[in-house]
Structure formats: C-alpha cells, structure tokens
Structure 1
C-alpha cells in the first residue's frame, strides 16, 4: 500500500507542476542563444559536428563542452557549439538545430531542454539525413541515432538509498517521524522525471513508515535565484524536514548553499553532479552530504566518436548507452576511483 501511495503521489505532483509551468511559460522571456562558435580549428574536408547544450553558464555543461572538444581533436572533426542561457529555453534549441542544418551539419550532438516539445524538430532534422546523437537527456521520439546518458531511474534509486544511509548516520531512528524535501529543475525533462520516479519508488519500498516525502515538491525552472527561494521555503515551512533531495546541479548546489547559510548540519542532502558548494560540505565532514556524480565528459566524448562513425555509415545497435555514475560522500571522496571521476568534473 505504501508503494502505491508514493507512486500516486509522484504522478499527481508531476501533473500539478506541469500545469503550473504551462501557466507561466508565456510570461517567461529568455536571453537569446548566441550564434555557434568554433571550438576547434576549422579545416576543409573534415566532418562538421554541431553541439547544442542546455545551459552555457552551468559548470555541468562546461564539462560536456570539454568532452566534446577532446573528442573532436582525437577523432578529427570540426566542432561548433552553442546553447541556452536557461535550461527551460527549448525554443532556442529548436532554432539552433535549424541553423546547424542550414550551415551544413553532418551531425548534431543535442542535450534537449524539453524532451517532448523538441521531438518534432528532432524528427524534422533527422528526416533530412543529419545524424543526431543525444547527450544526457533522451527525447520523446525514436528519430535519433543513439543517446549517451545516465540510467536515471537507477540513479534516483541509488540517491534514495543514500538518503536513508545519511539519515541513519545522523542518528535518526526508523521510529522517528521526519520529512524529506525535494527540489527539481523542471518536469519537462525525461531525465529529471526518471530520477524523481526512481527516488520515490525506492523510498516507497524501503523507507520506514515514519519517514515521508513532502508533497510540496519545489521546482526552480532553471533560475538560480528561484532555487535559493525554494530551498529557503522548505526550511521555513517544514520544521520536521531532516533531508533534502536535489535532482540536478542547480537544485543541489542551491540547497547546499542554504543549508550552510543556516548552519543546518542536522539535515541530510543528496544531490546530483559536482559543484564548489557541494564539495565544501562533503569535505567539511560535519554535514551529511552526498552527490550522484555523472560522467558527462564521457557522454560528449563518446558522442563525438559515434557521430562521426554514423556519418561513415556505421550502424549502431544500442539506442541508449549508460555511461555510469559514482556516489560521492565524506567517506569516499578521496578514494582513487572517485578522484578519477572527479577530475573531469572539476574541468
């Protein structure tokens, strides 16, 4: 019964949040995405690959750019890139795809800002013979070649397991009543929805009955200031809250910043990706903080390699390639395998 209730909660919350986003979309104005820039020396006779990322200012996406650049050097292609100023700006990505096709792109590496609304444009571009490799996030269409990404359902489950471990490490008993707050970036990303679903599924199955998820799930719409506001609201409105889950980079580091601001060492945090704010609390040792580290450098690097192979006629059997994750916390952040994974995420 508990699992059923949690699943219903997940679905109802997502539907509610999606409805709220639709009401606000028309009022949101984004700075336009800049023109494509060359990341490599441009040479005649080489294939032209165009990289379109979600957020030009994000440390996570800068690592994606670095991985793609390294791949373009190693596998000998011209690489151009652009992206958005906000992860909710799917319309700029649609325009950039058109610009890449007009410029003669042989392949496009795309991280969709909206898995549903961009599907029609992806279909259109794919039908023109341009090879499409998705990075980090899948789209609601079959008309792309391959997607390099995290197994986000599994990652959400691991995050849920890690949250329980951190809560117990802080001394909370299974009989104690406590609440868990959640902040997400958006509900239009398949990636985020799968992480949240995995987290809630695992929680419904294994968490003590007295440990509950706050139904007031916050979303920041890719706006950092809104992320801070969401974190402050959770702390203010839910005094029984002893854990917070951030489903992506901006959600996690805004939660970390607010916990540090209020010296809330009693609240466990589990997030995604790596930032200075997360690293500081992990290394502090007095905070119960973990992060699910993705391998976005490898996503982009392998994406470039595969894109070029596709332009040469190679057939790709796998539609999805799981690039793996590493859970980082105070107990393991100096382990050799974790340090190796962190090297790329530090840039």
Structure 2
C-alpha cells in the first residue's frame, strides 16, 4: 500500500512541477545561445576528434566535467572540443551543436542532454552516421547511443531523502511536531532530475513520520541561480513550518545554501547535490546543518573520452549504463579519504 501511495505522490508532484514550468515559461530569463566549439586540448593532425556538449557553461559542476574531458584527451592522445549552453533549458542549442559536430567530422560526441525527450531525434541522427555517441550525466529516451556514464539517480534521490531524515532527527526535531520540507529543481525535462525527485519522494513517503511532509509547491529555477535564490525566499516566506530544503542539482543547492546563509536560517536543514562554495560553507559551519550528495562527474567525462576511443577502435560495450557512484558529505565525514578524494575532483 505504501508503494502505491508513494507512486501516486510522485506522479502528482511531478505534474504539479510541470504545471509550474508551463506557468512560468513566459518569464524565462534572457540568455545567449551556445557558443561555437572551442578546443579543450592541443589540436594535432591525425588524432581522433571528440566533441563534448555540456548542459551549462556557468556551473561549478560542469566545470569539473570539462576538466575530466580535458584530462582524458591529454592522457589518451585525442583532440577534444567543447561547448555548452548558458541555460539548462536550452535544448535547441544542443541540437545545433550536434549538427555542427557532424559537419566538423566528429569521431565521437559526448553529450549531457538538456532534454531527454526533445533531443532524442538528434541523438539518433548522430548515431545513424556512425559517430560514437556517449552520454554523460543524463540518459535520453532512445536506444541510439553507445554508452551512458551517470549516477544511479533513483538511488541518489533515496539516499538524499534518508540523509534529510537523519539530519532532521539529529537537529532535534520531534516526530510529533509539524515539519515541512521544501524542494527546488533546475529542470523537469531531464530524466536525471525526475528520477532523483521520484527517489526522494518514494523514500520519504515510506519512512518519514506522519507529521513530516514535503511541500507540494516544488520550485523550478530554469538553471538560474538568481531565480533559485528568489524561489528559496518564496519557500521561507510562505511556509512557516519549513525545517528542511532539498536541492536536486548543483544550481538549486547553491541557491538554497546561499539564501539560507543570507537569511541566517540555521534552524533549516539543507540537503542537496554536488559541490559549491555555498554548500561547502554550510557543511563546514558549526552553526548550520547541511549535506550534499557528491557525484563523480569528473569520472563521467574522463571515462567517457577513454571509452569513446575504445568504441572507435571497434571495442564492444558489455553494458549501456555505467553507474559512476556517489558519496554523501556532511560535517561528520569531511575527513574521510573517499570524501576528500571526491571533493578534490569536484573543486576542479
């Protein structure tokens, strides 16, 4: 019965969020289309050419993805070019960039799709031309790709939910008192975010006390930090019983952490994804309570470059999905060797 209720909650909340997206579509921030590809490595004649297309050029998370691809190109002796979008909802620019990669004679494309559905046809077009297609971070709704390096996002969402419950308990909140948790996401068009949110809500509905609820007013920031900060302020102003906030991605987590610090709301637990100076400051503070689910996005692109070259050489992949793993960081495990290693990569 709990599983049925959990699925129903997830479905309703995802529809609510999609409705919010449609309502706010008229106020999407202005942004520049994606720039042309730039060399990421030294370009040498006779080497294979790999084109990396990321979701957001203005993000700590994606800077690390770029670092991984650059290191892969240098270590495995290939040319790597890259570009990406100025807003995570800009799937049209990614479609154009794939066409440009085809025209430039790409041997392989590494893509982090901004829209898992709308980009499927263009991904199939690249794949049909014999160009190796490696997805990173986010899956697409098509089988026309060679391999995807990403986080198991359903499990990651469940882990974030468990961490939120643990931190709320550690903060001293009673199971009998009313506790509300706000949620902020960057986008609803990617499978990554939908799976994280589904995992979070499923775990919460199964294990949270009855008086602890997730606010159905899910905030959507379009991958824009300023908008994310305003979304956070709306949550704080409109829900007096809010005691926790969850960010499904780097932009949302950065906005939540920055606003919680600005408003001096040390009573609120912050759980999010990835590394940024803002969430790191809260985790390192004795006053605030915060955690973040660290992905291994450096490995996604580094291994993606290596695998792309193997595919070009005729190697067959045994599986199409490679889980790159996650690590939760909080104030209790900052000095753990595995956490330190992941943090070092995530700092770029």
- TM-score range (shorter-chain normalised) is over 0.9
The equivalences for 1:53-72 within 5 A come to 53-72=54-73
Structure 1 gaps, min length 5: none
For the residue of structure 2 that corresponds to 1:142, the secondary structure is coil
1:323 aligns with 2:324: yes
**What's the CA shift string for 1:197-250, capped at 9, x where partnerless?**
000111111111111111111111112111011100110000111111000011
2:134 counterpart residue number:
133
2:46 counterpart residue number:
45
**Aligned partners of 1:191, 1:7: CA distance in 2, in Å?**
17
Cα shift at 1:57: 1.0
1:32 aligns with 2:59: no
The equivalences for 1:242-253 within 5 A come to 242-253=243-254
Q: Structure 1 residues 23 and 243, CA, compared in 2 at 3 Å: closer, same or farther? A: closer
1:225 aligns with 2:216: no
2:17 counterpart residue number:
17
1:184 counterpart residue number:
185
Structure 2 gaps, min length 5: none
The equivalences for 1:1-347 within 5 A come to 1-22=1-22, 24-25=24-25, 28=28, 29-347=30-348
Cα shift at 1:253: 1.1
**Aligned partners of 1:25, 1:311: CA distance in 2, in Å?**
41
Cα shift at 1:41: 1.2
Cα shift at 1:10: 1.9
Q: Structure 1 residues 235 and 24, CA, compared in 2 at 3 Å: closer, same or farther? A: closer
Cα shift at 1:30: 3.1
**Aligned partners of 1:323, 1:288: CA distance in 2, in Å?**
27
The 8 Å contact of residues 9 and 215 in structure 1, kept in 2 or not, is answered as: no
The 8 Å contact of residues 53 and 82 in structure 1, kept in 2 or not, is answered as: yes
For the residue of structure 2 that corresponds to 1:269, the secondary structure is strand
Q: Structure 1 residues 270 and 94, CA, compared in 2 at 3 Å: closer, same or farther? A: same
TM-score, L = length of structure 2: 0.97
The 8 Å contact of residues 274 and 345 in structure 1, kept in 2 or not, is answered as: yes
For the residue of structure 1 that corresponds to 2:174, the secondary structure is coil
Cα shift at 1:2: 5.0
**Aligned partners of 2:328, 2:45: CA distance in 1, in Å?**
43
For the residue of structure 2 that corresponds to 1:52, the secondary structure is strand
**Aligned partners of 1:107, 1:27: CA distance in 2, in Å?**
36
Aligned pair count reads: 347
Cα shift at 1:25: 4.4
